[in-house]
Structure 1
Amino acid sequence: MSDWQVHSVKYAERNMRTRADSFLFDDNHDAPHAMDYSIWVLRRGAEVILVDTGYDAVEAHRRNRPIEMDPREALKPLGIVAEDITQVIVTHLHYDHAGGLHLFPNATLHMQTAEMQFATGPCMCHDTLRAPFSASHVCEAVRRLYSGKVVFYEGDAEIAEGVTVHAIGGHSRGLQCVRVRTAAGWLVLASDAAHFYENVFARKPFPIVVDLQNMLDGFAVLERLASHSRLIVPGHDPLVRVLYPAEIAPHVFRLDHGPIRDPKQEVGA
């Protein structure tokens, strides 16, 4: 079968952050450290799979984290209409990855069993663990389940020929990354298994963590799954915009040909 095209679609950014927000045990903790918010599109001929959904203006207002554009608008340069999306891989249910589930009403969701159990179970009694989730987003996933539009996985699984998911956990109990066969080789969309290149290459954990060992072990999993470490794409790193060319629109970046430089060299790893 042919390879997949992969685009990163940026819909928001947050600049009022420091390295303490991105890395545990970082000596330069008060230095600025920006974050991008993206969703990803896998396309092969008429096949389209959306990876995560971003969040909408309502959630942006509630959390005081503005978005630059509605995820539906962000997808328009790719010729994608939200109602036409039938498959969404949900890497995990945190607000910035599953906050737009309701925007894609006809989609079947692909997620790890452990993530639904985590987001609806006793762990949510703890304010700290509950903070990255929003009840309305989790309820939307439950509603989709009761409509027969959720497929659950327990570990590694194939979503389509050339597209697989892999359970990693760490950041959230049921976090999964996505492995895609491309012209450049097996590309791994890390999502929040590595927010930034520095997380994975320097083995620096992200501060929002449920299981630290799973997070640390997950960095090696990402490297094992990718054909080359340069084909790991972190979930929130602005460096992605430097390493991959914008295509069609300033917020849309083509990933499947690989980066123009090795990200390890960019972060000094």
Structure 2
Amino acid sequence: MEHQRADIAVIGGTGFYAFLDDPHEVEVTTPYGDPSAPIAIGTVAGRSVAFVPRHGPHHEFPPHRINHRANLWALRSLGVRQVLAPCAVGGLRPEVVPGDVVVPDQLVDRTTGRVQSYVETGAVHLPFADPYCSGVRGAVLGAGEATGGGAERGIVDGGTMVVIEGPRFSTRAESRWYADQGWTLVNMTGHPEAVLAREMQQCYAAIALVTDMDAGAEDGAGVGQAEVFARFKENLDRLRGLLTATIERLPDPDGCSCSNWADGIDLTYEVPDGSAGGVSGGGRA
């Protein structure tokens, strides 16, 4: 059923609970429970796009309670092979400031209690040296250059995003330690989302909006929830424009290492074949 298929997905972050105009919703049942919300499907720039708010439509799910496995499996079951993941982040270093949009190229996991893989048995070891798809990153950067990014500083190419467990923000000492490692951004949702997308053989890139400078990166009381939500709300139209321009530029995912890394590997979990509930065997999908 073509109306239940999508090629591309946007996973909305804090404050980003809707993206598509006049979408229809698809209820997807997964082996891992329910996704954060029914999957909305619509058309953007002539392409079929799915949308799911990772925190739920009313921010029901805090970062450590998001069912990332259900979200990515549900999207793959609808045919999604490329994923854009806008998110709110704190800045750690002076090369970024609030209002910047950063397209990170590296990720550090500092979470402690999350299920971070579909692998539950057997020997399946995911190559993850480069956690974000170069093709999708290139499309985001190209879109940012073409649109000017919607702000004076435009788009920042590259940076390391450290993902913490949450839901609390960092202590000042933690924040300073992250900055001392050379890490650029701090976030609560980018892991295991990026890992699971790769296991689902999807091309994935994060689009990080800097909403604040983290506690150890500046003087003062430190970051608060109201500040983060307000900054993200201010930039919603900008992010929507960037996402639309990116969708227009996304390359063909065929042949990308994000999708063919499992060739020749006997996967011990099922990857949906994109027919709204079917699964493929082996290492191909």
Query: TM-score under structure 2 normalisation?
Result: 0.28
Higher relative contact order (CA closer than 8 Å, sequence separation 6+): 2
Query: TM-score under structure 1 normalisation?
Result: 0.29
